[in-house]
Amino acid sequence: MAPKPGSADGRTRSSFQIFIVIGLCLFFYILGAWQRSGFGKGDSIAMEITKTGSDCNIVSNLNFETHHGGEVETIDESKSKTKMFESCDAEYTDYTPCQDQKRAMTFPRNDMIYRERHCPVEEEKLHCLIPAPKGYVTPFTWPKSRDYVPFANAPYKSLTVEKAVQNWIQYEGNVFRFPGGGTQFPQGADKYIDQLAAVVPIKDGTVRTALDTGCGVASWGAYLLSRHVLAMSFAPRDSHEAQVQFALERGVPAVIGVLGTVKLPYPSRAFDMAHCSRCLIPWGANDGKYLMEVDRVLRPGGYWVLSGPPINWKTNYKSWQRPREELEEEQRKIEEVAKLLCWEKKSEKGEIAIWQKRVNADSCRDRQDDSQDIFCKSPVSDDVWYEKMETCITPYPNVESSDEAAGGELKTFPARLYAVPPRISSGSVPGISVQAYQEDNNKWKRHVKAYKKINSLLDTGRYRNIMDMNAGLGSFAAALESSKLWVMNVMPTIAEKNTLGVIYERGLIGIYHDWCEAFSTYPRTYDLIHAHGLFSLYQDKCNMEDILLEMDRILRPEGAVIFRDEVDVLIKVKKMIGGMRWDAKMVDHEDGPLVPEKVLIAVKQYWVVGGKNSTSH
């Protein structure tokens, strides 16, 4: 018997039909996009179906009246015109607002202040759409993208000249090739990682998250991915054009960043390993402040790797063309700070030195009783956004026995992904119990399952670089976990609960950020963006327009966005993105039309500098 109109079965079937139709629409839209970008040529069948089209205008099936009653007129879209956003000038194709070169040069050079974040004031913000360069194409899919990047997407050849003998990057016709080499690993990143793995437990999942300081084009992080290690790579925007841009074009996690005067935007005890390969950071300077910051973000029992100068200076000082006395003093200072931090040197072989952080304060017997002055006096907090770096040691969490890992023991990956994180089991995150954590996981498994019905390409490799703008406990990223993709979990600095430490304990990566400012990345670096409750969170904090324009800046042409929020909010969002060259459809919550939370799916159209909207042919 057919379900009666308005019955639960009828609503379920209606929602299911909505998901199927939108899934087909997005599927054929993106297949058509691949044709335009030069990939997937020959798929003429998909092109024909795209031309004939299907009925994608299904938003009329949504019923807002059920939970709004007489308030429907307050969200009437017809009362004002949609604002149309113009394209920015061609000179802004690689504009990074908070790392703008011209602005940077007005700040002091000492301690890398000028390379830190310096965002434009309100009157200097651009209110236009950042264009893609002419010839821009969809990047190669992973793992091919690890080794090849289309030249048109990042047309900068300076590194091919400066690093020619170091095997970083080569220009070959219309692509860049990344042979996997580096200044410190001429035999390739894989061989170099093998050397590290002889000391650091990389193979068994003990090491899952890593921090690469001064990453270059992030080949170290790129080759760690095949070993199930996620590296957060960062480098400043400097004379070596587009290092971080190359990393993200390759499909490797990276942000623009520098060790300067402010704390790194990561929680304490986040990374299993930290790494510097000729990263040019003066580790012994400023009374060891930079090593103390690494110690803060390094998990108890974690590893720090330093390769290149000054390690093995006795053999290499001539080839490095530096005075042996200078190198000797540099290493002495590093060893001195490492001893102060109570790191144990596990290995020094060739030009690679590896230290391990102790698992707790009790296991560090070298510290004197009168050494308490070196510890940070302020309460241990992960409120690090724009906070000044301190020359002090972050204390370990307390333990009950000398062999207990401070902060809690972590399982090896992948068991770590769904195990209860120590910050939750210990009650360190107020208001989040073990049960709430498990319920959150189950909820996001259902949400992601629904997303995959809407967009069947979600876990096919079409989307490699994914961002969750309001990550919560990281359950969205956990539900998506795959070697085909990675997720940048962003913790808004104004979020009610700071759970980024929990996300790292799950073996995922993320960063603190305030969405009233631009993100520390180049344009067109994410394939898919997820925004759950973001605009409700930032209501009355800053302009919706600024956040949406920033999303457009960092999203690739033909990239997708999934908004999940209250219907009133999404209607405003949908109206605004109507002037941004995005196509959008709204669908019900997977539990049916009576749920006030809805899902808005958007796809950014393909267009380039000086070109018309090419999705209209």
Answer whether residue 172 shows pLDDT above 90: no
Give the per-residue pLDDT at 257.
95
pLDDT band at 123 (very low <50, low <70, confident <90, very high): very high
- Max mean pLDDT among 50-59, 170-179, 517-526 falls in 517-526
Cα–Cα dist 343/292, whole Å: 11
Rg over CA atoms, the chain: 25
Cα–Cα dist 6/12, whole Å: 10
Cα–Cα dist 609/461, whole Å: 27
Chosen domain end from 357, 378, 405 = 357
Answer whether residue 307 shows pLDDT above 90: yes
Give the per-residue pLDDT at 187.
85
pLDDT band at 217 (very low <50, low <70, confident <90, very high): confident
Cα–Cα dist 484/460, whole Å: 7
Dihedral angle over CA of 254, 396, 402, 303, nearest 10:
20
3-state secondary structure of 396: coil
Give the per-residue pLDDT at 30.
45
The pLDDT tens digits of the residues spanning 377-411 come to: 877 789 999 999 999 999 999 999 888 999 999 99
Q: Give the helix ranges, DSSP H, for 394-474.
A: 422-425, 434-454
Q: Characterize the bridge pairing of strands 271-277 and 298-307.
A: parallel
- Based on the domain organization, do 117 and 185 belong to the same domain? no
Evaluate whether residue 341 is within a structural domain.
yes
Give the per-residue pLDDT at 40.
36
The pLDDT tens digits of the residues spanning 31-52 come to: 444 434 444 333 332 233 233 3
**Mean pLDDT in the chain?**
85
Cα–Cα dist 606/617, whole Å: 11
Give the per-residue pLDDT at 1.
44
For the four alpha carbons of 344, 347, 353 and 356, in that order, the dihedral sign comes to negative
Look at 93-97, 108-112, 183-187, 418-422 and tell me which has the smallest mean pLDDT: 183-187
Total Cβ atoms within 10 A of residue 164: 12
pLDDT band at 372 (very low <50, low <70, confident <90, very high): low
The pLDDT tens digits of the residues spanning 53-96 come to: 333 333 333 222 222 222 223 334 445 688 999 999 999 999 99
Q: Do 214 and 283 meet the contact criterion of CB atoms below 8 Å apart?
A: no
Answer whether residue 229 shows pLDDT above 70: yes
- Based on the domain organization, do 471 and 595 belong to the same domain? yes
Task: Name the DSSP letter for residue 106.
Answer: T
Look at 150-164, 448-462, 481-495, 497-511 and tell me which has the smallest mean pLDDT: 150-164
Q: Which of 217, 216, 226, 233 is nearest to 194 (CA)?
A: 226
Give the per-residue pLDDT at 37.
42
Q: Which of 312, 346, 331, 307 is nearest to 189 (CA)?
A: 307
**Span 220-242, mean pLDDT?**
88
Evaluate whether residue 435 is within a structural domain.
yes
Evaluate whether residue 183 is within a structural domain.
yes
Cα–Cα dist 89/93, whole Å: 8
Answer whether residue 16 shows pLDDT above 60: no
3-state secondary structure of 69: helix
Q: Name the more confident of 374 and 519.
A: 519
Residue-by-residue DSSP string for 175-224: EEE--S--TT-TT-HHHHHHHHHTTS--TTSS--EEEEES-TT-HHHHHH
Answer whether residue 527 shows pLDDT above 60: yes
Q: Name the more confident of 32 and 570.
A: 570
pLDDT band at 224 (very low <50, low <70, confident <90, very high): very high
Kind plus residue range of the DSSP H or E element containing 591: none
For the four alpha carbons of 192, 194, 198 and 201, in that order, the dihedral sign comes to positive
3-state secondary structure of 532: strand
Greatest Cα pair distance, the chain, in angstroms, is 89
Chosen domain end from 357, 375, 395 = 357
Q: Do 141 and 464 meet the contact criterion of CB atoms below 8 Å apart?
A: yes
273 bridge partner residues: 210, 303
Q: Which of 178, 267, 260, 161 is nearest to 214 (CA)?
A: 260
Q: Name the more confident of 365 and 617.
A: 365
What's the angle, vertex CA 60, arms to CA 54 and CA 61, rounded to 5? 90
- Based on the domain organization, do 96 and 199 belong to the same domain? no
Give the per-residue pLDDT at 159.
54
Evaluate whether residue 543 is within a structural domain.
yes
- Based on the domain organization, do 109 and 224 belong to the same domain? no
Total Cβ atoms within 10 A of residue 148: 16
- Based on the domain organization, do 225 and 298 belong to the same domain? yes
Residue-by-residue DSSP string for 537-553: HTTTTS-HHHHHHHHHH
- Based on the domain organization, do 470 and 600 belong to the same domain? yes
- Based on the domain organization, do 352 and 427 belong to the same domain? no
Sheet of strand 555-566: strand arrangement: 510-513, 486-492, 465-468, 526-532, 555-566, 597-604, 582-588
Q: What share of the chain is helix, strand, coil (3-state, %, to 5)?
A: 35, 20, 45
- Max mean pLDDT among 147-156, 171-180, 248-257 falls in 248-257
Up-side HSE of residue 238: CA atoms within 13 Å toward CB?
A: 17
Evaluate whether residue 238 is within a structural domain.
yes
The domain tally of the chain equals 3
Cα–Cα dist 445/441, whole Å: 6
The pLDDT tens digits of the residues spanning 553-569 come to: 999 999 999 999 999 99
Answer whether residue 2 shows pLDDT above 80: no
**Span 593-601, mean pLDDT?**
95
Amino acid occupying residue 384: V
| CATH value at residue 457 | 3.40.50.150
Q: Do 182 and 168 meet the contact criterion of CB atoms below 8 Å apart?
A: yes
Evaluate whether residue 388 is within a structural domain.
no
Chosen domain end from 324, 357, 390 = 357
- Based on the domain organization, do 216 and 336 belong to the same domain? yes
- Based on the domain organization, do 239 and 339 belong to the same domain? yes
Give the per-residue pLDDT at 190.
94
Tell me which residue range forms the domain holding 105: 90-124
Evaluate whether residue 609 is within a structural domain.
no
Q: Using the structure block, give the residue that is written with the tokens 């999705």.
A: 615
- Based on the domain organization, do 503 and 589 belong to the same domain? yes
- Based on the domain organization, do 331 and 467 belong to the same domain? no
Cβ neighbors of 612 (< 8 A, separation 6 or more) are none
Cα–Cα dist 92/609, whole Å: 10
- Based on the domain organization, do 297 and 435 belong to the same domain? no
Answer whether residue 311 shows pLDDT above 80: yes
Helix axes 313-320, 324-340, angle to 10 degrees: 130
Evaluate whether residue 395 is within a structural domain.
no
Give the per-residue pLDDT at 208.
98
Look at 8-12, 327-331, 512-516, 597-601 and tell me which has the smallest mean pLDDT: 8-12
585 bridge partner residues: 601
Answer whether residue 269 shows pLDDT above 50: yes
The pLDDT tens digits of the residues spanning 141-155 come to: 999 999 999 999 988
Give the per-residue pLDDT at 216.
83
